[in-house]
């Protein structure tokens, strides 16, 4: 017979509180205009607006776009900020936000301060892990985009996962 040990205090779970911005970034309007992702180029233009012009070439940042079933941007959040060439990404946070916002699909993005669009081996491995993890929980992983000040690289367009 298996019995459960009693605890002196009830174990509690940490709660993830999500605060994210909805609609088009920096539109200056009270009511935000919905944005629908229709292509990787349109997505890259949207994403580029999320970066501060003063820091896009200084430090690496990782962004999650949460999307509805019709690919409307429900919101976005900068999940991780790193150094000159690396931002550690925790898959649990990506999935936690996607699930808590009831996202049908997600797109992730990060910038390369160096200006290079070539994905690193770490970028490729992260993309595979994210795609696999999203599949397990029923969230469609649409793309991983690398953004620089003037250009972008889409893993989906290049069939890299």
Read off the CATH number of the domain in which 80 is found: 3.40.140.10
Q: Are 142 and 156 a contacting pair, CB within 8 Å?
A: yes
The structure's pTM equals 0.81
In tens digits, what is the pLDDT along the chain, a chain of 161 residues?
Answer: 544 444 455 444 455 556 555 555 555 555 567 889 999 999 999 999 999 988 899 999 999 999 999 999 999 999 988 887 788 899 999 999 999 999 999 999 999 999 999 999 999 999 999 999 999 999 999 999 999 999 999 999 998 76
- State the total domains in the chain: 1
> What SS3 state is found at 137?
helix
What are the distances in angstroms from CA 94 to CA 12, 71, 155? 21, 18, 18
Write down the pLDDT at residue 29. Answer: 52
Radius of gyration of the chain (CA): 18
| Residue whose token pair is 């889409």 | 154
Burial of 24 (0-12, 13-18, 19+ CB in 10 A): middle
> Domain of 58?
51-118+135-154
Side-by-side strand order, sheet with 140-147: 73-81, 61-67, 105-111, 140-147, 152-154
Write down the pLDDT at residue 86. Answer: 80
Residue 43 within any structural domain of the chain: no
Residue 38 within any structural domain of the chain: no
Six-digit token pair at 51? 């970066």
Residue 61 within any structural domain of the chain: yes
Residue 94 within any structural domain of the chain: yes
Residue 116 gets the label, from left (phi > 0), alpha (psi -120 to 50) or beta, of beta
Write down the pLDDT at residue 38. Answer: 93
Strands 73-81, 61-67: parallel, antiparallel or unpaired by DSSP? antiparallel
Q: Are 142 and 67 a contacting pair, CB within 8 Å?
A: yes
Residue 100 within any structural domain of the chain: yes
Write down the pLDDT at residue 17. Answer: 58
């Amino acid at each position: 017979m298996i019995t459960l040990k009693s605890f002196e205090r009830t174990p509690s779970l940490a709660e993830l509180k999500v605060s994210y911005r909805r609609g088009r970034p920096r539109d200056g309007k009270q009511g935000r205009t919905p944005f629908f992702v229709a292509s990787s180029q349109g997505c890259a233009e949207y994403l580029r607006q999320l970066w501060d012009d003063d820091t896009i070439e200084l430090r690496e940042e990782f962004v999650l776009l949460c999307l509805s079933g019709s690919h409307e941007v429900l919101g976005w959040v900068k999940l991780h900020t790193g150094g000159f060439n690396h931002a550690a990404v925790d898959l649990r946070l990506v999935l936690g936000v996607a699930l808590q916002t009831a996202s049908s699909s997600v797109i992730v993005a990060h910038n390369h301060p160096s200006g290079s669009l070539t994905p690193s081996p770490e970028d490729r491995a992260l993309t595979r892990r994210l795609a696999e993890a999203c599949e397990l929980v029923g969230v469609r992983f649409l793309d991983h985009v690398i953004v620089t000040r003037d250009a972008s690289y889409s893993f989906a367009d290049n069939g890299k996962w």
